[in-house]
């Protein structure tokens, strides 16, 4: 008698993080009229009449998302809160409540966890978010942090990533690539220390990019600047996985193409100098590095005069019809396809 054929096995690396999400959630249909947006944006959107709740969640795992050999627990707590608050901001909302779940092994002391929570509390205080509950469990190895943030917005003011329009301006806040170069610097000094524990880390003069990596700040100030200027983004996303990945999200979810100009991408001088040390093109760091948590948004082309003078906001390109594709235009005028090459869980590089 013939044995049954072995069941088909698809490796997670064949799909990667975003492909896996699409595969697992395809065909999901909301049965509650209050669910305005489910999977597929920075937050879920839940209807409450004249306003909506915005809900986001992240799971952070030691050894995957953070390395405690160079990430102080207080900074880690702050960053864990900040990156989730950033998702609410990216939907043009106000963060209000936070739930924190941790799973922790016995190698951590009460004092170390108090340090972690001190960072969480500092972020909550700064951004006026109430820490309202969560869960704590034991772990057989390492530290796991689960953060849920709930925010609020008026229904008509929510900004999705799927609502950009042809000819819209593409804008970004702050500067890009610094967090990635900060990470590379920390990783380099970690390897030096492992080879010779007597060596002290060489981090002098790099405070800016180290802070970009260890203590990012959600850009609530950008929303205030846009409101003061009378500008409402047509689409928006925060930059967690690199500029390339995020503009592709906006373009494809909106059914459009895009053009980004290389010489318009904002890069800090320290980022550029450290990139040169590592022999990395700083534009590559900006496009693919990630973890900058700046806001990438599109805006009506008629708002150009309102936007161009806002300090810290840069116009870097425009949206096109879908058939024109997604391209980076070099300083020499050459077109290069934009590819999402930032960090992608489960993908085999």
Residue 185 sits in the same domain as residue 298: yes
Among 102, 136, 157, the domain-final residue is: 157
Average pLDDT, stretch 224-236?
97
Final residue of a domain: which of 111, 131, 157? 157
φ, ψ at 123 (rounded to 5°): -65, -40
184 & 312 share domain: yes
The confidence band for 140, taking pLDDT boundaries of 50, 70 and 90, is: confident
One domain, residues 85 and 188: no
Q: What is the pLDDT of residues 285-318, one digit of tens each?
A: 999 999 999 999 999 999 999 999 999 999 999 9
Q: Are residue 103 and residue 251 in the same domain, yes or no?
A: no
- Among 39-53, 170-184, 199-213, 241-255, the minimum mean pLDDT is found in 39-53
- The CATH number covering residue 202 comes to 3.90.650.10
Same domain, residue pair 173 and 313: yes
CATH number, residue 81: 3.30.1330.10
Q: Is 113 exposed, middle or buried (0-12, 13-18, 19+ CB in 10 A)?
A: middle
Residues 254 and 145 both lie in one domain: no
Nearest residue to 296 via CA among 313, 274, 272: 313
- Band the pLDDT of 1: cuts 50, 70, 90: very low
15 within some domain: no
Are 145 and 195 contained in the same domain?
no
14 occurs within a structural domain = no
Supply the pLDDT for residue 329.
97
Task: Kindly report, residue by residue over 174-208, the tens digit of the pLDDT.
Answer: 999 999 999 999 999 999 888 888 777 778 889 99
Residue 347 resides in a domain: no
For residues 132 and 187, membership in a common domain is answered with no
pLDDT of residue 345 exceeding 50? no
Question: Residue 310's domain spans which residues?
Answer: 169-337
Mean pLDDT (whole number) for 107-124:
96
Pairing of the two strands 313-321 and 256-261: antiparallel
Spell 186-196 as b/e; 16+ CB within 10 A means b: bebbeeeeeee
pLDDT by residue (tens digit) across 4-37? Answer: 556 677 665 655 555 554 555 555 565 566 666 6
Could you tell me if residue 57 is inside a domain?
A: yes
Same domain, 183 and 91: no
331 with 203, same domain: the answer is yes
Q: Which of 35-39, 41-45, 255-259, 339-343 has the highest mean pLDDT?
A: 255-259
Q: What is the tens place of the pLDDT at every residue in 59-85?
A: 999 998 999 999 999 999 999 999 999
Residues 114 and 249 in one domain: no
Between 325 and 201, name the one with better pLDDT. Answer: 325
Residue pointed to by tokens 């990945």: 245
- Residues 208, 273: contact at Cβ < 8 Å? no
pLDDT at 50: 85
> What percent of the chain clears pLDDT 70, i.e. is strictly above it?
86
CB atoms within 10 A of CB 13: 14
Residue 241 lies in a domain: yes
In percent, the amount of the chain with pLDDT more than 90 equals: 76
Q: Which residue in this structure is represented by tokens 């995020």? A: 246
Give a yes or no: residue 289 inside a domain: yes
Q: Which of 137, 157, 177 is the last residue of a domain?
A: 157
Total domains present in the chain: 2
For the segment 136-145, the average pLDDT, to the nearest whole number, is 91
Average pLDDT, rounded, for the chain? 90
131 and 185 assigned to the same domain: no
- pLDDT (0 to 100) of residue 300: 98
DSSP-assigned letter for residue 68: T
pLDDT of 38 higher than 70: no
Report if residue 78 sits inside a domain: yes
**Residue 21 falls within a domain, yes or no?**
no
């Amino acid at each position: 008698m013939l044995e049954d054929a072995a069941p088909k096995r698809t490796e997670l690396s064949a799909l990667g993080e975003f492909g896996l999400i699409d595969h697992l959630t395809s065909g999901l249909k909301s049965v509650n009229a209050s669910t305005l947006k489910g999977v597929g944006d920075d937050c879920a959107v839940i209807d409450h009449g004249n306003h909506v709740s915005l809900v986001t969640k992240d799971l952070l795992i030691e050894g995957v998302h953070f390395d405690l050999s160079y990430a102080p627990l207080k900074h880690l707590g702050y960053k864990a809160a900040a990156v989730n608050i950033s998702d609410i901001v990216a939907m043009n909302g106000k963060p209000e409540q936070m739930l924190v779940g941790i799973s922790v092994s016995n190698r951590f002391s009460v004092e170390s966890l108090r340090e972690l929570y001190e960072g969480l509390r500092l972020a909550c205080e700064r951004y006026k978010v109430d820490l309202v509950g969560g869960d704590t469990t034991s772990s057989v190895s390492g530290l796991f942090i689960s953060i849920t943030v709930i925010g609020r917005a008026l229904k008509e003011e929510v900004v999705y990533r799927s609502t950009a329009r042809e000819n819209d301006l593409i804008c970004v806040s702050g500067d890009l690539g610094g967090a990635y170069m900060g990470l590379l610097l920390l990783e380099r000094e970690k390897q030096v220390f492992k080879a010779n524990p007597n060596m002290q880390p060489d981090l002098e003069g790099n405070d800016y990019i180290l802070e970009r990596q260890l203590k990012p700040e959600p850009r609530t100030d950008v929303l205030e600047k846009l409101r003061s200027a009378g500008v409402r983004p047509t689409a928006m996303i925060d930059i967690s996985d690199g500029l390339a990945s995020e503009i592709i999200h906006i373009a494809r979810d909106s059914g459009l193409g895009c053009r980004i100009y290389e010489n318009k991408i904002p890069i800090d001088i320290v980022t550029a100098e450290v990139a040169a040390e590592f022999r990395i093109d700083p534009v590559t760091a900006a496009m693919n590095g990630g973890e900058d948590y700046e806001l990438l948004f599109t805006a009506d082309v008629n708002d150009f005069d309102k936007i161009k003078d806002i300090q810290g906001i840069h116009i870097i390109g425009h949206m096109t019809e879908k058939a024109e594709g997604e391209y980076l235009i070099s300083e020499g005028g050459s077109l290069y396809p934009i590819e999402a090459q930032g960090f992608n869980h489960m993908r085999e590089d």
